[in-house]
Amino acid sequence: MEHGPAIFAAAVFLLFGAALLAWTGARVPRGAPVAEGVRPVVAVPLAVLAGGACLALGVWCLGRVWGRL
């Protein structure tokens, strides 16, 4: 019964991480700001780091579910 919440959490982490990386990847080549009021030198690495961390958490959650099946 506990697989449902873990799969939901994994889906949320994976979708958010992918969306954040896509947003950052779309904004950087155009020179548009990634975050309002934050210098690109700071915003881009933090956005990439946060997106990668969310993807890693999503994969970890799925790994925990698959390990219990």
Higher pLDDT, 29 or 67: 29
pLDDT band (50, 70, 90) for residue 2: confident
- CB of 61 closer than 8 Å to CB of 10: yes
Q: Is-above-0.85 flag for pTM? A: yes
b/e for 28-47, b at 16 or more Cβ within 10 A? beeeeebeeeeeeeebbeeb
> Would the pLDDT of 1 be above 60?
no
- Residue pLDDT, tens place only, 30-62: 999 999 999 999 999 999 999 999 999 999 999
**Confidence class of residue 69 from pLDDT cuts 50, 70 and 90?**
low
What is the rounded CA–CA span in Å between residue 21 and residue 62? 20
